[in-house]
Structure 1
Amino acid sequence: MERRVVSAGTPAAPTTFVPPPPVPFDALEHVLTAGSVLHRVHGSFPAGAFNPGMGGPTRFAHFTDAGDPSAGIVPVLYAASTAEAAVCETLLHDVPLQGGRLSRVKYHGRRETTLVLQRDVRLAKLMGAGLRRLSVAPQDLTATSGDVYAQTVLWAQAAHAAGFEGLAWMSARENTAEAYVLFGDRVAESELQETSDGLGPFDRPGPGFRWLSAYCALVKVELLLS
């Protein structure tokens, strides 16, 4: 559902109406089984470290435990089912789909790492039948712009309150792959085992840089060297 743009001189309203999460939050369960491989793009944080609340708002962070707000912010970790989706959801997040440029500052010091789950993890399913069950469309929740993150994060808080350990959805920027957010008070860093199979650093001249250069060319993104 679209909202009208307000007149000039007043703050613009969000372009998308995000419905509130249903009560009760009876989402379908998406289980990532033990042995599942997660792809993560990260910089200063170790591969398996959860963000305790640093940085600006994102689609599903930051939020507090609805039952105990005094407990503080719930740490989160974003990952994806493929390296391509992990890159699209991070480095290329703000690059227009029509093409654009990726400056060096965006990928310098960052790397792609693979993590293997050591146990089954229960996620709320925000894709396919999971969206229909919750009566919400991708464009109103998992494919919105950043101006409605204050509303989309309420869905993460609701999933957390319902006992889920995170969320799963289809990446809007690489829509053949799944994206995930895990809740750090439900999933421990020790339950994510780092492997040596990741692309590694994106800085040139290593294999990570060559992979990123080839992928950017594929999706019509100019990879800048400075």
Structure 2
Amino acid sequence: MTVPNYRPPEALTGTPGKVTLARGTLLYRVHGSHRAAAEFNPRPAHCLYGGGRFDGTSCDPYGYLYAGLSAAAAVCETLLRSLPFDPSGGPRLLPRRAVQGRRLSMLRLTADLCVLPLMTAQDLAAVHQDSWLVHTEAHEYPYTRDWAHWIRRHTEPWAQGLVWSSKREPGDRTVLLFGDRGPAGALRADESDAVDFDTAQGREWLDSVLQPYYVRLAP
């Protein structure tokens, strides 16, 4: 994978793909319980420190919402970042603090959304990138955020988000939606289906999802 030793070009000379997330599609989101399931994160990440792969920043302050197209993808992307395997062969332990104050919610699209795919080498080449953009780790997220802002500028107004193969569950997909591009009310949450990780029932559910990844909640 290339190192981020160059800036995005002035012009977008490729032709990005377009994927429709159809009305009725289910999205799964792991989020803080203080935030409503369908609420976009309004807080810009710092341009240089912390933050997620494609967050808005003060350079491009948009609301953002990450979700998976399966519950497992949402859990893996949110909770299994940089969680190493045990050299002795034991299960990976997920600290309890990593799930405190969090829940999994289901969101249903009430409208079609047009997103830009970053799943294949051709998809990535169309925006002058390769798999580095969706596979690099957190220490290079300031660069991936800058590329996301560049992609947004050159796909306005049609790109309402991005979709790519999950880094931590490659068999599924991850979605980022831009809060300033989709129609109002495009996400409908069913709070009755939420899984609260602060409850015994929620932790039991989470352990069942984590088990195939050789992960369990720490005691």
Q: TM-score, normalised by structure 1?
A: 0.80
Q: Within the alignment, does 1:39 sit opposite 2:34 as a pair?
A: no
Q: Within the alignment, does 1:109 sit opposite 2:101 as a pair?
A: yes
The answer as to whether partners of 2:127 and 2:151 remain within 8 angstroms in 1 is no
The match for 1:57 among 35, 51, 55 is: 51
Q: Within the alignment, does 1:169 sit opposite 2:164 as a pair?
A: yes
Aligned pairs, how many? 204
Cα distance in 2, alignment partners of residues 108 and 172 from structure 1 = 23
CA RMSD of aligned residues (A): 2.3
Cα distance in 1, alignment partners of residues 193 and 7 from structure 2 = 37
Q: Within the alignment, does 1:88 sit opposite 2:66 as a pair?
A: no
Structure 1: which 5+ residue stretches go unaligned?
3-15
Deviation string for 1:168-208 (max 9, x for gaps)? 100010011110111111125621001257451123421x3
Cα distance in 2, alignment partners of residues 21 and 96 from structure 1 = 32
Q: Aligned residue for 2:92?
A: 100
Given the superposition, is the C-alpha separation of residues 84 and 197 from structure 1 closer, same or farther in structure 2, using an over 3 Å criterion?
A: farther
| SS of residue paired to 1:142 | helix
| SS of residue paired to 1:50 | coil
Q: Aligned residue for 1:137?
A: 130
Greater mean deviation of Cα atoms: 48-57 or 170-179? 48-57
* Aligned structure 1 segments of 4 or more residues deviating by more than 4 angstroms: 18-22
Q: Within the alignment, does 1:149 sit opposite 2:141 as a pair?
A: yes
Structure 2: which 5+ residue stretches go unaligned?
none
- 1:84 counterpart letter in structure 2: A
Cα distance in 2, alignment partners of residues 100 and 90 from structure 1 = 15
Q: Within the alignment, does 1:29 sit opposite 2:18 as a pair?
A: yes
Deviation string for 1:64-119 (max 9, x for gaps)? 5xxxx6xx611101111000010011122231366632111111221111101111
| SS of residue paired to 2:104 | strand
Cα distance in 2, alignment partners of residues 217 and 18 from structure 1 = 39
Cα distance in 1, alignment partners of residues 71 and 41 from structure 2 = 20
The answer as to whether partners of 2:44 and 2:57 remain within 8 angstroms in 1 is no
The match for 1:214 among 168, 188, 208 is: 208
Given the superposition, is the C-alpha separation of residues 18 and 188 from structure 1 closer, same or farther in structure 2, using an over 3 Å criterion?
A: farther
Q: Aligned residue for 1:11?
A: none
Cα distance in 2, alignment partners of residues 211 and 20 from structure 1 = 43
- 1:53 counterpart letter in structure 2: R
Given the superposition, is the C-alpha separation of residues 165 and 213 from structure 1 closer, same or farther in structure 2, using an over 3 Å criterion?
A: same
- 1:74 counterpart letter in structure 2: Y
Q: Aligned residue for 1:158?
A: 150
Q: TM-score, normalised by structure 2?
A: 0.83
Cα distance in 1, alignment partners of residues 130 and 107 from structure 2 = 30
The answer as to whether partners of 2:66 and 2:175 remain within 8 angstroms in 1 is yes
